[in-house]
Every structure is written in C-alpha cells, then in structure tokens.
Chains A and B, each alone.
Chain A
Amino acid sequence: MKGKIISAIIALALVALAALGYWSAAQHRHGEAPAELDPKEIIYEHLGDEYGWALPFNHSLRIPLPIIVWADDGFHCFMSSRLTDGATYEGLRISNSEDHNGKVVQVMPDGSEKRPWDFSVTKNVAAIFVAALLVVWMVMSLRRWYARQGMKAPRRAMGLLELVVDYVYTDTIRPIMGKEAPKYAPYLLTAFFFILTMNLLGLIVIFPGGANLTGNLAVTMVMAIITFVITNFTGTREYWKEIFWPEVPVALKCPVPMMQLIEVLGLFTKPLALMIRLFANMMGGHMVVLVLMLLIFIFSAMFNYVVGGATAVFSLFFTVFMLALDTLVSFIQAYVFTILSTIFISMSHVEPHHHEA
C-alpha cells in the first residue's frame, strides 16, 4: 500500500516535470528569437564535453569547474564561470569557430585562435572523478565489511557487490587465468567497476551523472591502452615468437612476411576493438535516447503541439525502454571489456608446452 502511494507520487512528479520541461521549452522557443531546431547540434552538445556542469532543468546556471591551460604565456588557472557567454579572460575564450567549437582557445595578437594544452577539469573530467570516488567508496566499504565482520556473509548492498566481485573474479578471471589470476585481478576488477560505474552514471540524466563518459573515445582509449600495455609488456617469449615466427608453412612467412604482418596487425586490432566496442555501444544508447526525445520537438515544429504531445507518449515509452536496455548494456559492456582483457592478457602468457599439446 505504502509502495503504491510512493509509486503514484513518483509517477505524478515525473509527469509534472515532463510538462514543466515541455512548457519551458515552448516558452524558450516563443522568446525573442525562435531559433531553428538543430537536432544534430543538440545531440553533439549532449554527447560532448563542456566547461562547467549544467544544473538540472536549467540552461543558464552551471556549476563552475576549474580551467587549467598551458598557453604560450604559461599556466592559467581559473573557474569556468569567467568564460560564460563568450567572455575573454587572460587572453583565453571559448571558441565558436569551426575548428575549435566549444573549446578554450588562446586569442593571438592577430585575432586568430590557437588551442593551448588544455588540462581543464571539464564536465567529463569531473564525472570521471565522481565515478572514481564512487568506486573507491563502494570497494572500500566491501573491504571494511570483511575487516569488521570476518567470515559473516555480506548482506544487502554489500551482498550485491560481493556477488558481482565473485562473478567477475571467481567465475571469469580465475577460470581463464588460473594461478596468475591474483596478479592481474586488481587491474581487471578495477577496470570492471570503473567502467560499470561510468556507464551507469552516464544513464542518470541529472547533475552527478549525465556525462557521456564511456561513450567518449578518450576514455575508452585509455582503458584499451592500459590493457594493450599490460598484454604486451608481460608477454612471454613464446608469445613474441608466435608473432614473429609463427608455426606455419615457411612459404607464408619467409620471403614475404605475410603472417608476421597479420599478427602485428592483430596486436593493434585487439585493443582497438575493445576501445570501439565500448565507445559505440554506450554512445549509441545515449544517441538513441536523445533522438527519441528530440522527436517530440521535431514533430511539434513540423506539425503542431497535438502531434508533438502524441509523440511525447510514444517517445517516453521507448526512452524508458531504451534506458532499461542501456542499463543491461552497461553491465554487459563492462563485463565484455573485462573478459576480453582477461583473455588478451592470458593469451600473451602462452608457454611452449601449452602450444605443443
């Protein structure tokens, strides 16, 4: 009974928020300059990065974040609120140009723009910190449980967390890596929980979440590079031998190093696939949700508010469905990244006797 009342209140609040958002969007468009609806720009704005973190249901108020750049004249460090609405501060401004759209640039004496080394804590960087802190908090609380309760089985949230750790470690990493598992488990488990947290945070549309982290190539690239480095720097002699002198007919490898070429390409396609898979899956999910939402405004603009309203029902239904699917995808992709990293690392640890079998 209590649960039903709470659900009804939440549903009403959601409908009210949706109506408010729709009304505010309509107000905005009836304002001074009815701007042309540009779905592409809106989508890229939402998927991309920005200086400052927008507060929910508000287009103008942002949480300022530090801008740190290494320009020609040295370090600059100030809050992003100084650069709102195209303001220039210490010779820096947020560019509108085609090349550096939305990025901090240095205004040169001749009026041209130059991109400095940008270490700014943008929305994405801040979201990475939030995700990292969340992971530390989660994992440390599980550790605290074991330190305090010893052999007692974890309950509630700790039980769920332990279930996931157990699934990733005992059922995935250990069967694949065998006795090497404890050595690489810290990296793989950290990667799993970090990616999972970033994925799920990305699905929460308002403040602490909402940053499209794993749908950003920079983030997935870092993860893939770390796996690549571990794979190749811990590889055994046998692993390198199989790349540069694989056991195939000599004609395939001697005058023309065909097999070697394929193997070396394979070195790079593996982490590349890791990077693209995670990026495309997460970005795709976000994009579909954005497009479904934009459909409301596109149809409103094309026909009238009645059609827009009907589309809203349709879009909301599919958005909820997509978000549920994305939750699933968040888990699957974090898991796939982990299991593939595990396989790549263990594949680089081949031993000769293993090969002869």
Chain B
Amino acid sequence: MELFTPEFGLVFWMFVAFLCLYFILAKFAWPFIIKSMEERADLIDKGVAYAQDAKRQLDNAKSEADKLIAEARNQQADILREASKIKNQIVEDARSEAAAEAKKVSEAAMVSIEQARKESEKQLRQEVGEIALQIAEKVIRREVANDKAQQQLVEQYLSEVKTNN
C-alpha cells in the first residue's frame, strides 16, 4: 500500500528540499536570529538591573539627604547655643573690665586730688607764713611809731590779706 511504503522520489526530493532549507537557514538566518534575541534579552536584563540599581541609589540618596539635613539642624542648634554662650561671656567680660577700669581711674583721681590738696596746703602754709611775717614786720614797724597807728595798721594789713586771698 502506497501510504506505508515510502516512495523513492518523495524521499529524494524531501532530502534535497530539507538540506537546502537547512543550509540556507543555518547559514543566513538562525545564528543571526538567536544572537539578536540573546543580545536583546541581555540588554533588557541589563536595563532592569540598571533601573533597580538607580532606584536603590535614589532611595539611598533620599535617606542620606534626610540624614544630612537632620545633622545640619543639630549643628545649627549647637552653633546657636554656643553663640549665645559666647555672647553672654563677652558681655560679662566687658562689664567686669569696665568696672576694673573705672576703679583704676577713680583711684588715680583720688591720688591726684590728694596731691593737689597737699600742694595747696603747703602753698597756703607758706603764704600764711609770709603774710604773717609781713604783718609782723609792719606791726613791728608801727610799734615803733604809734600804738594806735600800729593797731590801725594791723587792721589794714589783715583786710589786705583778706582781699588778697
């Protein structure tokens, strides 16, 4: 029966057709198609990996940024606290320094006043001595002349002294 006995011509042509088909496709098509498909699969895999990596980096960056901001806030608070402390210190220092300076100035003034006082006392003593000497001189001179006149003279010189001083 024909169906179960392979026909020679059909076998021959089938061989020819299949071998031609095989050589054409094996030479020009399949390796290229397989290579292209694998390249694209690789590309897609790489793309996915890249995207995942990028996402992870983005997430990291966000948390890192948050951390940085928190740190900066802390630092800011620290700095502010420090600054206010320094400010208080400076004010305190200035105050005490000013007080010391004022004390020094007033002491110096005191010394100079004392000195001036001593000077003027000395001068006064000298002048009073001189005046007394002059009066005594004049009195002695008048004594010699007139008692009454001497009295008058003393009076006069005393008033002179008064006006002089």
The interface of chain A, by Cβ under 8 A from chain B, is 44, 47-49, 101-102, 117-122, 124-125, 128-129, 132, 135-136, 139-140, 142-143, 146-147, 150-151, 153, 162, 165-166, 169-170, 182, 185-187, 189-190, 194, 216-219, 221-223, 226, 283
Contact = CB atoms under 8 A, between A and B. Distances in A.
Contact of A187 (B4, B22, B39): B22
A124 B10 contact: yes
B2 to A, nearest CB: 5
Interface stretch (B28-36, B98-106, B149-157): B28-36
Given A102-B2, A153-B40, A139 B10 contact: no
A125 B30 CA distance: 25
B7 to A, nearest CB: 5
A257 to B, nearest CB: 31
Contacts of A219: 10, 14
A142 B10 contact: no
A74 to B, nearest CB: 17
A49 B18 CA distance: 19
Nearest to A152: B40
Contacts of A194: 18, 21
Residue picked from A118, A122, A132, A226, most chain B C-beta under 10 Å: A132
B3 A222 contact: no
A217 B28 contact: no
Given A129-B17, A132-B21, A186-B25, A49 B7 contact: yes
Contacts of A47: 3
Given A44-B2, A44-B3, 12 more contacts: A101-B2, A128-B10, A128-B14, A129-B13, A139-B25, A143-B28, A143-B29, A147-B32, A170-B37, A182-B31, A190-B22, A222-B11
B158 to A, nearest CB: 133
| 10 interchain residue pairs of minimum CB distance | A186-B26, A218-B6, A146-B36, A218-B10, A186-B30, A222-B14, A125-B13, A118-B9, A143-B29, A139-B29
A150 B35 CA distance: 11
Contacts of B128: none
Contacts of A44: 1-3
A218 B7 contact: yes
Please classify the interface of chain A as helix (H, G, I), strand (E, B), loop, or mixed, using the class held by over half of its residues: helix
A135 to B, nearest CB: 6
B6 A217 contact: yes
B7 A118 contact: yes
A218 B7 CA distance: 6
22 contacts: A120-B9, A122-B10, A124-B10, A129-B17, A136-B24, A139-B25, A140-B29, A143-B32, A146-B32, A146-B36, A151-B39, A166-B37, A186-B26, A186-B31, A189-B30, A190-B18, A190-B22, A190-B25, A216-B3, A216-B6, A218-B14, A222-B18
A221 B36 contact: no
Given A151-B39, A186-B25, A190-B25, A223 B18 contact: yes
A218 to B, nearest CB: 4
A117 B22 CA distance: 26
Contact of A139 (B11, B13, B17, B33): B33
Given A118-B9, A128-B14, A187-B22, A169 B2 contact: no
A102 B5 CA distance: 14
B10 to A, nearest CB: 4
A68 B37 CA distance: 43
Contacts of B18: 132, 190, 194, 222-223, 226
Given A142-B33, A194-B21, A216-B3, A125 B10 contact: yes
Contacts of B26: 186-187, 190
Nearest to B36: A146
Contacts of A190: 18, 21-22, 25-26, 30
B50 interface: no
Contact of B25 (A101, A119, A136, A218): A136
B43 A151 contact: yes
A119 B40 contact: no
A118 B9 CA distance: 5
A283 B4 CA distance: 11
